[in-house]
Amino acid sequence: MSNYKILFLDIDGTIIRPDDTIEDSTKVAIKEVKKQGIEVFLATGRPLHEISDIAEQLDIHSFIGYNGAYATYREKDVVREPMDSVVIEKYLQIAKKHQHEIVFYTDKNNAFTNMESKYTKEMIEKFHLHKNISFTPDIVKDILGVTLVNVGENETELYNHQGIHLSQVNVDGMRHCYDVIRDKVNKGFAVKKILELLDIHPENAIAFGDGMNDKEMLQFVGEGFAMGNGHPDLFSYAKHKTTEVTDSGIYNGLKSLGLLN
């Protein structure tokens, strides 16, 4: 019996391939480690109200969403950390001035500053977003996550704010999008809270990711895997590098730990 107790899996670029499918090897790997008694969490920047189909395919019932701002363990809340409304107001002003767009995520909806933009439509299609509304000021206190849209690499400094950094979305066609990550509220923060709740030591935890929004999570667990297709800057934060999402990355990583044949 292995010493590993828990597995955290990013979604886009880690579980989901560029063609929006999940490899059979990934499904097999997840099913097998669950048989071994290992808890499995999806850990994503996506809002939790938009991942039910993926969770159902993989029979997973515990989640980290919104880049660590909200986490649940078997339908019970573990983390819930809305964003500072002062930051939200500042970002709205910057985006308006520079003709950027923003999507704000609550626990129920994806609120876009411009529903008619081609970038908004592309994002909705790419990530299969269904619960979309136009942003209104009354939701400011309920915002759990933020993605900046149509932002050039030379414009990211506009959004500099103490305690916050931006993470480029590591998906083809979406690299003009940046997730807003809080230094103290991120996937690593949520992983820490979950391990404390379940009384699991970090050395008994495994995580896989491909984007810079995964770096804190990969650093915190004992066995952090960067996907072969990961952001180049991510590899220095991971203990291991596995193969690409299109080449059984999760399966091969778990196999290297002796969890799969």
- Could you give the 3-state DSSP secondary structure of residue 257? coil
Fold type of domain 6-81+185-256: Rossmann fold (3.40.50)
Total residue count of the chain as it appears in this document: 261
| pLDDT for 159 | 96
Strand partners, 70: 65, 80
Whether residue 1 is predicted with pLDDT greater than 60 in this model: the reply is: no
pLDDT in tens, 182-205: 999 999 999 999 999 999 999 999
The first and second tokens of residue 260, run together, are 């799969």
The first and second tokens of residue 118, run together, are 């081609």
| pLDDT for 170 | 87
pLDDT in tens, 107-166: 999 999 999 999 999 999 999 999 999 999 999 999 999 999 999 999 999 999 999 999
- Could you give the 3-state DSSP secondary structure of residue 50? helix
Collect all residues with Cβ–Cβ distance below 8 Å to 246 and sequence separation of at least 6: 17, 18, 23, 229
The first and second tokens of residue 131, run together, are 């619960």
Ordered by start, the domain boundaries in the chain are 6-81+185-256, 85-182
Whether residue 38 is predicted with pLDDT greater than 90 in this model: the reply is: yes
pLDDT in tens, 5-19: 999 999 999 999 999
Fold type of domain 85-182: 3.30.1240
Can you list the alpha helix ranges (DSSP code H) found in the chain? 24-35, 52-58, 85-98, 118-126, 187-198, 215-220, 249-256
pLDDT in tens, 210-230: 999 999 999 999 999 999 999
| pLDDT for 2 | 73
> What span, in angstroms and rounded, lies between the C-alpha atoms of 44 and 180?
13
pLDDT in tens, 57-105: 999 999 999 999 999 999 999 999 999 999 999 999 999 999 999 999 9
Whether residue 252 is predicted with pLDDT greater than 60 in this model: the reply is: yes
219-230 burial by CB neighbour count: b if 16+ within 10 A, else e? bbbebbbbbbbb
Tokens 């991120």 sit on residue: 186
Give me the mean pLDDT over the 238-245 stretch.
98
Q: How far is CA 1 from CA 30, 33, 37, 208, 255, in A?
A: 16, 11, 9, 21, 14
Residue-averaged pLDDT of the chain: 96
Strands 70-73 and 76-80: antiparallel
Q: How far is CA 26 from CA 12, 47, 212, 235, 253, in A?
A: 13, 22, 22, 21, 11
- Could you give the 3-state DSSP secondary structure of residue 179? strand
Do the first three CATH levels of 6-81+185-256 and 85-182 match, i.e. the same topology?
Answer: no
Dihedrals φ, ψ of 4, to 5°?
-80, 135
Name the pLDDT band for 171 (thresholds 50, 70, 90).
Answer: confident
Strands 205-209 and 178-182: unpaired
